[in-house]
Structures are given as structure tokens and as C-alpha cells.
Amino acid sequence: MADVNVVAEQTTTHEPYDLRAIHWEPGKEARLLSQTEALHAFRRGERWLWIDLCAHDAAATGSLLTGEFGFHPLAVEDALSLYERPALQEYEDTIFLTAHAIQQKDSEETYHEIAFFAGEHFLVTVHTEPVALLQNCFERWQKQVAKAVKTPAHLLHFLLDAIVDEYFPVGDTLEEKADELEDAIFAGDGSVQVADILRVKRRLLELRQHITPLRDILNALLRRDVELIPDEVVPYFQDVYDHTLRITELVDVNRDIIAGVLDAHLSVVSNRLNEVMRILTVISTILMSAALIAGIYGMNFAHMPELQWRAGYPFAGALMVLVGVVEWYIFRRKGWI
């Protein structure tokens, strides 16, 4: 009983969020900051600052974003919600946008929503689960910022470009899968199932659903006069936008291919069914002719020709065989079998 009480008293506490931050200056090495240092640096308006938040408790993280960082409540709500469509929103000194990072594992894709709060001197990223892409970008940014002048707008481009680049290998994989299905269908491979085709079609649809909003967001960044995006960074966003167009076109082309593969597969199945039905019809016709002869000779009338004929039974059997052979020959001549 004492052991049970001890176990009951041992409770593990989980942090409501994980915060990591990096501060850099042109020509200097980047410096990692603790949570307290990061919040102080943000309040003082130090340039330049990247704060990354992995939210475990939406309520506590939301309070931090609205209270400590002063972000708009509606933007914070969208950042912590998994059911909002990604969009671009502009506030007084901040722009807010979201993007979906992709990760492929075991022939399936998983998507992670990342929210961006970009200001003149800072960038805050928010996500509700760990994202390997951000970890890699965090390490790469530490090494790159000392080489040139990098602003938060450059950092925003750096992250969006990394997110979009992850879509290309997935698109190539799905394109190869679509080509394999197409080749298998036209080669007459009977192992291809409708479920295989629909699975690839669903994956392509999901890919498009996640890349299209990001394409629209980048287009809005380029079309609007966003003061927080310097003119020298705009061409870089244009390059990322072009990449999203390429991915979207790749997805659309392969969706058309999959639609054609599905139609071809259904046509092949229908043709096979027609062939089977044609053969069964021929066999049924031959058996019906034999059954007709057997039915005639099986009628129990007192006065029937050949009723007392000794060769009647062999004659009836031979007649059935003859009719069957003639019908088979006629069907072969017509190309029905």
C-alpha cells in the first residue's frame, strides 16, 4: 500500500511549451538564448531574433504569445489551431502567415503546420509538435548568419524555401508511382488494384491541398506592398513562389495521369468481364442446344418416332456432339471465342 502511495505522489510535470531562441548580428557569431534571455531581448527590441515555440499546452502558449509578445489574439488562435486554412494577415508591426511542412515516412506523408510571426527585428515560429525541418534549419542558420547581413525577412525566406524544397522529393516519388501504375496497367498486369490507384490519387490530392495555400500566401506577399519585406528580399520570395508553381503543376499533371490510369484499369476490367461473359454465353448456347435435343428425346409420349429404335440413344448423343461442334465452329469463324 505504501508503494502505491509513493507512485501516486510521483507526478511528472510537463512544460507547456518548448522555447529556443537565437540572436545574431551582422558579421558576428550567432548566440543561443535561454527562455528568460529571449523574452528580455524581445521586450528590449533587440535585433535580430528568432524564437521558436513548440506548444504542448495551447492555452499557456496562447497567453505567452498575446501577453509577452503582444501578438493579435486572432492570429494566435490561428497559430495554435489545426483546422484553420493557411492565410496571410497583416497587423500594425507584424505579419502573420502559416505553412505546412511535409515529411515522408513509410510511403506516407505527414504534414506539420508552422505559424510565422514576422516583425522588423524578429521572427517567431510556432508549431504544436516537433518538426525535424526546423531543427535542421536552426542549426544551419547558426552557421550562415555570420557570413552576410541577414534580416528576419531573409530568415523567413530561408524557412519557407526549406519547407517548399521538401515537397519536391515527395512529388517525384508520387510521379514515379503514377508512372509505375500506368506501365503496369498497359502491360496487362492483373495485380494492380483500384485501391492502389486511389491511394496515390489521395496522396496527390493531399499534397495539392497543402501546397496551394502556401502558393497563394507567397503570391500575396509579392503582390502586396508589405513594408516588413525589404525590396532586396522580394526576388527570393519570387523564387520560392516559382517553386510552388512547379510543384502544383507536377501534382496536377500526375493527377491527370492517375485519372487516366483509373479509367484504363476500369476499361481493362470491363473488357476482361466481357470476354468471360462471351465465353460463358458460347458454352451456354452449346449446352442449350444439347439440352433441347435431350428434352425432345426425353418426352414420354406413347407414339414417338425412334422410340423403339435400338440405335436411338447413340444417335441422340451423336447429334448433340455434332450440333455442339457446328456451333463451336461458327463462333470461332465469327471471332467470338
215, 86 in Cβ contact below 8 A?
no
Task: Identify the pLDDT of residue 149.
Answer: 64
Q: Map residue 330 onto helix, strand or coil.
A: helix
- In the beta sheet, which residues pair with residue 122? 49
Task: Identify the pLDDT of residue 114.
Answer: 93
Task: Identify the pLDDT of residue 10.
Answer: 36
Q: How many angstroms separate the CA atoms of 108 and 200, rounded?
A: 10
pLDDT (mean) for 144-148: 66
Check whether 1 has a pLDDT greater than 70: no
Phi-psi region of 107 (alpha: psi -120 to 50; beta: other; left: phi over 0): left
pLDDT (tens digit per residue) in 257-282: 888 888 777 777 777 777 788 888 88
Check whether 106 has a pLDDT greater than 80: no
36, 67 in Cβ contact below 8 A?
no
Instruction: Pick from 149-158, 203-212, 272-281 the range whose average pLDDT is largest.
Output: 203-212
Q: How many angstroms separate the CA atoms of 147 and 128, rounded?
A: 32
pLDDT band at residue 12, thresholds of 50, 70 and 90? very low
Phi-psi region of 97 (alpha: psi -120 to 50; beta: other; left: phi over 0): beta
Check whether 109 has a pLDDT greater than 90: no
Amino acid at site 123: L
Give the Cβ contact number of residue 267 at 10 Å: 11
- In the beta sheet, which residues pair with residue 18? 54
Task: Identify the pLDDT of residue 147.
Answer: 64
Instruction: Pick from 181-185, 187-191, 243-247 the range whose average pLDDT is largest.
Output: 243-247
88, 221 in Cβ contact below 8 A?
yes
Phi-psi region of 102 (alpha: psi -120 to 50; beta: other; left: phi over 0): beta
Task: Identify the pLDDT of residue 148.
Answer: 65
Domains defined for the chain, CATH in brackets: 1-147 (3.30.460.20), 281-333 (1.20.58)
Q: How many angstroms separate the CA atoms of 142 and 6, rounded?
A: 45
pLDDT (tens digit per residue) in 297-313: 777 776 677 667 777 77
Amino acid at site 189: D
Amino acid at site 277: M
Report the share of the chain in percent with pLDDT over 70. Answer: 93
* DSSP assignment string, 10-40: ------SEEEEEEE--TTS--EEE-HHHHHH
Cis before 48? omega within 30? yes
- The grid cell for 49 is 531574433
The torsion of the CA quartet 51, 53, 58, 62, rounded to 10 degrees, works out to 0
Check whether 43 has a pLDDT greater than 70: yes
pLDDT (tens digit per residue) in 56-89: 999 999 999 999 999 999 999 999 987 777 788 8
Check whether 197 has a pLDDT greater than 90: no
Cα distances (angstroms) measured from residue 245 to each of 200, 232, 248, 252: 20, 22, 5, 10
Average pLDDT, the chain: 84
38, 50 in Cβ contact below 8 A?
no
Cα distances (angstroms) measured from residue 276 to each of 216, 272, 334: 51, 6, 17
Written in H, E and C, the secondary structure of 45-57 is: CCCCEEEEEEECC
pLDDT band at residue 24, thresholds of 50, 70 and 90? confident
pLDDT band at residue 28, thresholds of 50, 70 and 90? confident
pLDDT higher at 4 or 36: 36
pLDDT (mean) for 168-179: 89
Task: Identify the pLDDT of residue 264.
Answer: 77
pLDDT (mean) for 209-237: 87
Grid cell 440413344 in the structure block, residue: 313
pTM of the model: 0.77
pLDDT (mean) for 231-242: 91
